[in-house]
Amino acid sequence: MAWAAADAGEVEASAAGVRQHDMVIAVASGKGGTGKTTVAVGFAIVTGRCQLLDCDVEEPNAHLFLHPTLTSSEKVTLPVPEVNRERCSLRGRCAEACQFHAIAVMGKSAEGRSASGGQVLVFPELCHGCGACTLACPEEAIREVPRQVGVVESGKAGKIEFVHGRLNVGEPMATPVVRAVKAHLDRRRLTIIDAAPGTACPVVEAVKGSDFCLLVTEPTPFGLSDLRLAVEVMGKLRLPCGVVINRAGEGDQQIEQFCESKGLSLLGRIPFSRAVAEAYARGQHPVYVLPELGRCLEEVLERTLNCAQRGL
Amino acid sequence: MKELVVISGKGGTGKTTLLGSFAALAGRSVLADCDVDAPDLYLLLHPDIRFAQEFRAGQMAVIDADRCTRCGRCREVCRFEAITSDFMVIALNCEGCGACRVVCPAEAVELQERVAGDWFQGQTKYGPMVYARLRPAEENSGKLVALVRKEARAWAEREGIGLLLTDGPPGIGCPVIASVGNADLALIVTEPTPAGLHDFERALALCRHFGVPAMVCVNKFDLNSGLEKRVHDFCAESQTAVTESIPFDESVPRAIRQGLPLVEFDLGPASRAATAVWGQVRSCLIGG
């Protein structure tokens, strides 16, 4: 099997048993560190040709295993207000309209005359770029200027098309960067999405619009508790989902019982192995070291695609 | 009162395992779980919940169908594709910005508060605990984190407890920023993997950005001693203190399955190392 021997830099196509589909499969988990990236990148490697979108923009890691050649880079910006003081009459409509306290008006003038000493303060890191202030300004004194919050890079690893986003350190809002990564989604081919951990807005933005979401968990009470929350999120999004247990072995039973009680498909188990952990620690994708892991991931992907096609 | 916050950048490096052990070793402290997306500390510390309350934050647009003239202005200005062609608001997409309300000529749009999460107070055998859980797919995790920390601090002051131990979320975004701001010390727990290293550097940069002193602990160090050394070299260059490293130990998932802090589960290699790390962190935090 090509992936068993190939170097990560030159991954060869190997559809070995996996049919090509034009599906969008998201890989997510409530808990961090359960193996989302290992599974998502593993899927990409065993198919050999697909699109991989790393949407964990706070801590993007897929590139560390796939070693793609990045050929293009684009800035992710949010439009933030810039106030023209000549036109502004300090009525304060912008501050009233802004729900995020990103713009404040000091020394408001009730009559709409330009009061001396008054000023408008903008707090760019609070701004969601919604444009409400611009719409609310009666003097058309607001112009929106782009402010960079992150970057999206794309390239290739063999026949795998790779895109990831990176949120600037210190920036609170990940969703615009996730959205910019998702803009590269190519619905004509199999796409794998690696989502951030958690259950909040960046995860929702990443998995939204997929055909199916695979939830990676581990057989501990932490894994189960966070899986339960992740399943609730998918329910709210009406997104069909299934479960894979990573580091399987001791403690699987509780996860199995949970899946059964929720009518969730358990799509596979990746056995616990120190060799997997060590390969990962060396920066090698474990499928290159353990061919049986590659076969295991192939089976999980096959089942996942079957479920996705049936919309289960 | 001194506050320690444990963060990691990458998820699953052992934040909660370590913080649970600190709670057991510290004597009396106040515990706060700020991983509001996926709070797990309660599974080790078993608080007896005495107080639970809804957390309201953020808003959502609601369109009054009787007033709506279907002019479509709201759909034109909405940047989040949150309004359908039949003028219904998609809750998941709505940022609650109110741009639609600004332009609606019929005054048909109202902004309603949303219930974004729940927060809890309880007693554990190690001290009072505050934690919260974001409702699925909600926003405003940063504000919920701020609330948990504020309540935990208030409780510490009320009872004259001099130590607050905070379990932070993974990542470097909004809830992490809300967790580290003004803390006395951040302990960054990392692992010797390329992903751990990459994420640790970003977490450290975040602490610098917000002026929070940081200390670094390498967990599962024996998975790759070469990378452990790289973390230590990086810390030496950037004058960041490091703690003793913790070895890979299969007792860790077993302790979690038993619902026990590692240091109460056994006295194996990881447990002993966690005890040593606590000694170093405590000296750095409290002195002496």
Which residues of chain B register pLDDT less than 50?
288
pLDDT of the residue at A4: 47
More confident residue, A22 or B89: B89
Tell me whether residue A145 is in a domain. no
Tell me whether residue A241 is in a domain. yes
Query: Cβ(A167)–Cβ(A58) under 8 Å?
Result: yes
Backbone φ, ψ for residue A242 (5° rounding)? -140, 175
Q: Give the span between the Cα atoms of B173 and A269, in whole angstroms.
A: 31
Closest CA to A23 of A302, A160, A213, A211: A211
Residue A188 has pLDDT above 70, yes or no: yes
Do residue B172 and residue A131 have CB atoms under 8 angstroms apart? no
Do residue B171 and residue A33 have CB atoms under 8 angstroms apart? no
Domain co-membership, A126 together with A7: no
Q: Tell me how many domains chain A contains.
A: 2
Residue A17 has pLDDT above 60, yes or no: no
Tell me whether residue A113 is in a domain. yes
Query: Cβ(A232)–Cβ(A199) under 8 Å?
Result: yes
Distances in Å between the alpha carbon of A215 and those of A46, A172, A195, A304? 19, 25, 10, 11
Q: Give the span between the Cα atoms of A244 and A213, in whole angstroms.
A: 11
pLDDT of the residue at B140: 83
Distance from the B160 Cα atom to the nearest Cα atom in chain A, whole angstroms: 31
Domain co-membership, A68 together with A91: no
Do residue B13 and residue A33 have CB atoms under 8 angstroms apart? yes
Domain co-membership, A208 together with A106: no
Residue A121 token pair: 């303060």
Which chain A residue shows the shortest CA-CA distance from B193?
A281
More confident residue, A278 or A118: A278
Q: How confident is the model at residue A7 (pLDDT cuts 50, 70, 90)?
A: very low
Domain co-membership, A135 together with A263: no
Query: Phi/psi class of residue B230: alpha, beta or left (left: φ > 0; alpha: ψ in -120 to 50)?
Result: alpha
Angle CA(B229)–CA(B230)–CA(B233) in degrees, nearest 5?
85
Domain co-membership, A20 together with A121: no
Distance from the B31 Cα atom to the nearest Cα atom in chain A, whole angstroms: 18
The boundaries of the domain holding residue A114 are 85-140
Instruction: Give B 218-237 residues with CB within 8 A of chain A.
Output: 220, 223-224, 227
Which of A99, A101, A103, A133 is the mutation pick for testing B, counting most B CBs within 10 A?
Answer: A99
The CATH number for A127's domain is 3.30.70.20
Of A130, A169, A247, the CB nearest to B172: A169
Tell me whether residue A154 is in a domain. no
Q: What contacts B85, CB < 8 A, 6 or more positions away?
A: B75
> Is the minimum CB–CB distance between B191 and chain A shorter than 8 Å?
yes
Domain co-membership, A110 together with A26: no
Domain co-membership, A257 together with A130: no
Domain co-membership, A173 together with A197: yes
Domain co-membership, A71 together with A91: no
Q: Give the span between the Cα atoms of B182 and B177, in whole angstroms.
A: 10
Do residue A132 and residue B98 have CB atoms under 8 angstroms apart? yes
Q: Where in the sequence of chain B do the CATH 3.40.50.300 domains occur?
A: 2-55+117-286
Percent of the residues in chain A that have a pLDDT greater than 70, as a whole number: 91
Residue A78 token pair: 């949010």
Domain co-membership, A167 together with A136: no
More confident residue, B219 or A309: B219
Run of H or E including B275: helix B269-286
Domain co-membership, A67 together with A89: no
Q: How confident is the model at residue A311 (pLDDT cuts 50, 70, 90)?
A: confident
The sheet carrying B127-134 orders its strands as B48-63, B109-124, B127-134, B30-33, B163-167, B2-7, B185-190, B214-218, B241-242
Q: Give the pLDDT confidence of A93-147 residue by residue, as tens digits.
A: 999 999 999 999 988 776 555 556 788 999 999 999 999 999 999 999 999 999 9
Tell me whether residue A232 is in a domain. yes
> Is the minimum CB–CB distance between B103 and chain A shorter than 8 Å?
yes
Q: Give the pLDDT confidence of A36-77 residue by residue, as tens digits.
A: 999 999 999 999 999 999 999 999 999 999 999 999 999 999
Q: What fold does the segment set B2-55+117-286 form as a domain? A: Rossmann fold (3.40.50)
The CATH number for A172's domain is 3.40.50.300
Of A202, A236, A278, the CB nearest to B136: A236
Tell me whether residue A150 is in a domain. no
Q: Give the span between the Cα atoms of B91 and B83, in whole angstroms.
A: 9
Percent of the residues in chain A that have a pLDDT greater than 90, as a whole number: 85
Count of H helices and E strands in chain A?
Answer: 11, 11
| B283 CB neighbour count, 10 Å cutoff | 10
Complex confidence, ipTM: 0.93
Tell me whether residue A146 is in a domain. no
A143 alpha carbon, distance to own chain's centre? 31
Q: Give the pLDDT confidence of B24-77 residue by residue, as tens digits.
A: 999 999 999 999 999 999 999 999 999 999 999 999 999 999 999 999 999 999
| HSE-up (13 A, CA, CB side) for residue A73 | 6
Query: Cβ(B180)–Cβ(B214) under 8 Å?
Result: no
Q: Give the pLDDT confidence of A210-269 residue by residue, as tens digits.
A: 999 999 999 999 999 999 999 999 999 999 999 999 999 999 999 999 999 999 999 999
Run of H or E including B22: helix B15-25
Domain co-membership, A127 together with A263: no
Q: What is the CA radius of gyration of chain B?
A: 22
Strands A142-157 and A241-248: unpaired
- All residues of chain A having their beta carbon less than 8 Å from the beta carbon of residue B137 are 199-201, 203-204, 233, 236-237
Do residue A199 and residue B136 have CB atoms under 8 angstroms apart? yes
Query: Cβ(B70)–Cβ(B168) under 8 Å?
Result: no
- All residues of chain B having their beta carbon less than 8 Å from the beta carbon of residue A235 are 136
